[in-house]
Chains A and B, each alone.
Chain A
Amino acid sequence: MNKDLNYWLDLFIKVLDKLPLTLFMMIVSLFFALVIAVIVAVIRIKHVRILSGLAALYLSFTRSTPLLVQIFLIYFGLPQLLLVFHIDINHWNRLIFVIAAFSLHTGSYLAEIMRAAYQAVGKEQLEAALSVGMSYPQAIRRIILPQAFVIALPNIGNQAIELLKDTSLAFTIGIIDIMGQVRIILGNNHGIGIFEVYVVISIVYWIICIFIELIINVMEGSVRKRRALLK
């Protein structure tokens, strides 16, 4: 186990080389997940007919099945399904499939967080806003959303961390991110030191998680400070 410093440094550099792809997957997926979440949350809050039932089915499915199954269904299953309608998407970039899977998966969790946050604000806030003459969109934008955002922020941060950890599954369909890099490093090492590689990978994930936590804490702090000033 006594490897010199250069060996560890070399491993870190090789792993960090693929960090941008991991972060790219995470940020793009988080963006689309937020879009999906808003749409689904609105459908659920407004009780839109038919769509509301579909949304419930989507939430139940994505929350009751493992993410890995969802990735496989989208990457292997969807092209097969679309071939029935003579649409060939087999040649699409793999990144599109994983980002779709991550977005759909995280989107369902975020949708429930947003719905809960909206409901936590309380009906009387909306009524008060309407009673002073605001229109419904105004009330939502000026009164409800700012408060809901503060309530939802810690949970959204947790989901961002979950999403980062989830991106570690992208290697299962052959994407060379941090996890995919393992095979390449081992190929050069002739398969020696696989444990050390995973130690390095875990430390990289750990540091990014702590970093995201810090960002969320700073955001929460600044939001709370601004609200305190208003009082």
Chain B
Amino acid sequence: MAVIDLAFAIKHLPDVLKGVPATLAITIIAMICGLFSGLLISFIRIFKLPVLNQGAVLFISFIRGTPLIVQLYMFYYGLPVLFDYLNGRFGLQFNADNIHPLYIAFIAYTINTSAYQAEIMRGAIQSVDRGQMEAALSIGMTVPQALRRIIMPQAFRTALPDLGNTFIHLIKATSLAFAVKVMEILAISRTIANDGYRFLEMYLVAALLYWLLSWIFEIVFTKLEQKVSRYEKAQQSPVKRFYSVRQLKT
């Protein structure tokens, strides 16, 4: 028996690839839902809504101060406790066992990432110059209009690199989804490795897959950044632009 069995790894690669959809589904859904709830929390923080603001501060501190795996376990084992309470109180018939693990993962990861994205968005919105808001209001826009048309587009551009990092972070974080019984890349690799006593091969396959995924999305986000910062290039050299316009005229 060879010590390192590459044939074993190649044979089981298709099985591990079956975990990629779960990994990507959790990442993408948590990213999108987390962005919306994160925005909501960041507005609560920026406009300093009473009570809600304190709640948001506590929530963000808790999520950022405790390990994700503890949060996942808490959510997984807390859900039946919550349902028991609700059922007893309102006479409902919820059963936590009927919920697909993937949906539990969606919610748990969304809650986790929303705290991080809230802080990113808060920083990005506050980094937009105050004068922008004042200018928008002075020409007769309402606050929601000014936010939507003037502030948010600029804030998103500032936030994009951090949002990209959060996305890559989420891809890696999905490796903990075994805590809520989701079979993703690592959980599948682990099962195969345990069955075949081929640890090195299977964990290398998993590592390379994560590496590849991170790499792909890094490129996607870099391209996205280049696209949204096109206007900067146009602004960069007014002299060049002046001459290019003149050339067109003559």
Among B3-59, those with CB < 8 Å from A are 3-4
The answer for the CA separation of A210 and B65 in the assembled complex, in Å, is: 7
- The residues of B that contact A66 with a CB separation of less than 8 Å are 172-176, 186, 210
Q: Using Cβ atoms and an 8 Å threshold, which residues of chain B touch A81?
A: 3-4, 200
A199 at the binding interface (Cβ < 8 Å): yes
A69 to B209, CA, bound (A): 11
B62 touches A206 (CB 8 A): yes
Shortest C-beta distance, A36 to chain B (Å), equals: 19
- Asked whether B143 is an interface residue with its Cβ less than 8 Å from the other chain, the reply is no
| A80 touches which of B80, B85, B176, B200 (Cβ 8 Å) | B200
Q: A66-B210, A194-B77 are in contact. Are A201 and B200 (CB under 8 A)?
A: no
Nearest to B197 among chain A residues (CB) is A80
Choose among A65, A77, A198 the residue that contacts B211 (Cβ–Cβ < 8 A). Answer: A65
Question: Which of B66-74, B125-133, B154-162, B225-233 binds A?
Answer: B66-74
Within 8 A of A (CB), among B146-178: 168, 172-176
Contact B199 A72 (CB under 8 A): yes
Pick the contact of A168 from B62, B67, B173, B210 — CB < 8 Å? Answer: B67
Give the residues in chain B near A165, CB-CB below 8 Å: 66-68
Question: CA of A198 to CA of B210 in the docked complex: distance in angstroms?
Answer: 28
What is the interface residue range for chain A against chain B?
Answer: 35 or more
Distance of B30 from chain A, by nearest CB (Å): 15
SS of B interface (majority): helix
Q: Is the CB of A205 within 8 A of B69?
A: no
- Smallest CB separation, A26 vs chain B (Å): 12
CB-CB nearest in chain A for B206: A69
- CB proximity to B under 8 Å, residues A179-216: 179, 194-195, 198-199, 201-202, 205-206, 209-210
A166→B67 contact, CB < 8 A = yes
B200 lies within 8 A of A77 (CB): yes
Taking a contact as CB atoms closer than 8 A, the residue among B70, B81, B175 that contacts A202 in the complex is B70
Instruction: Find B215's partner among A64, A69, A78, A168 (CB 8 Å cutoff).
Output: A64
Contact of B66 among A60, A70, A209 (CB under 8 A): A209
Residues of chain A within 8 A (CB-CB) of B207 are 61, 65, 69-70, 73
Contacts of A201 in B (CB 8 A): 70
Smallest Cβ-Cβ distance to B82: which chain A residue: A195
Q: Which residues of B contact A61 (CB under 8 A)?
A: 207, 211
Complex: A165 Cα to B175 Cα, angstroms: 15
B67 neighbours in A (Cβ, 8 Å): 165-166, 168-169, 205
Q: Which of A28-84 contact B (CB under 8 A)?
A: 60-61, 63-70, 72-73, 76-78, 80-81, 83-84
A positions within 8 Å CB-CB of B: 1, 60-61, 63-70, 72-73, 76-78, 80-81, 83-84, 161, 165-166, 168-169, 179, 194-195, 198-199, 201-202, 205-206, 209-210
Binding site for A on B (CB under 8 A): 3-4, 61-62, 64-71, 73-74, 77-78, 80-81, 85, 168, 172-176, 186, 190, 193, 199-200, 203-204, 206-207, 210-211, 214-215
| Given A198-B77, A202-B66, 19 additional A-B pairs, CB 8 A | A1-B81, A1-B85, A64-B172, A65-B172, A66-B176, A72-B186, A73-B203, A76-B203, A77-B204, A78-B200, A80-B3, A80-B199, A84-B4, A179-B70, A194-B73, A198-B73, A201-B70, A209-B65, A210-B65
- A-B residue pairs, 7 tightest by C-beta: A76-B199, A66-B175, A209-B65, A77-B200, A168-B67, A64-B214, A165-B67
